[in-house]
Structure 1
Amino acid sequence: MASRYPMFGLRIPPELMDKLKYIADYNGRSANKEIEQLIIKHVNNFEKENGPININKD
């Protein structure tokens, strides 16, 4: 089943990608899900410091 989520391409150095895959495997996740978790943490931290981000979808 195809995802309805938007795709986002990411270019990072191979060594960093290998390390990310190692961490993702350690956490029982795919590299994609590991990146998603990192983004979620970053957004949550930003909102704690700066207040909620309100996105208006028209």
Structure 2
Amino acid sequence: MAVQQNPYPLRIDKNTMDKFKIIAKENGRSVNKEIEILLKNVISEYEAEHGKIEIDEDELYKKK
């Protein structure tokens, strides 16, 4: 399992999270995996419309 370099605490209201837990369970996934898959889908859709997102990790993680 990959180690997450930049953990991001997700703040979400209880009702939304409770419903999301049900969706994840229905899909046989953990909440974390369900979120990851949905985010990847959003990125794929965005890139299909706007082109591939190129990441310059030096710029992305440069301290300001």
**Would you say same fold, with TM above 0.5?**
yes
Q: Which has the larger radius of gyration?
A: 2
Q: What is the rounded CA distance, in whole Å, between the counterparts of 1:17 and 1:27 in structure 2?
A: 15
SS at match of 2:12: coil
State the alpha-carbon separation in 2 of the partners of residues 50 and 28 from structure 1: 32
Q: What corresponds to 2:14 in structure 1?
A: 14
- In the alignment, structure 1 segments of 5+ residues that lack a partner are none
CA offsets 1:15-55 (integer angstroms, 9 cap, x no match)? 00001100000000000000001100000000000000000
Shift of the alpha carbon at 1:57? Answer: 2.2
TM normalised by structure 1 equals 0.89
Of the two structures, which has the highest relative contact order with CA contacts closer than 8 Å and spacing of 6 or more?
1
TM-score of the pair, normalised by structure 2 = 0.82
1:4 corresponds to which residue? 3
1:45 maps to a residue whose letter is E
Q: Aligned pair 1:29/2:29, yes or no? A: yes
Question: Is it true that 1:55 corresponds to 2:55 in the alignment?
Answer: yes
Larger displacement relative to structure 2 (3-12 or 46-55): 3-12
Aligned length: 57
Output the amino acid matched with 2:52.
Answer: P
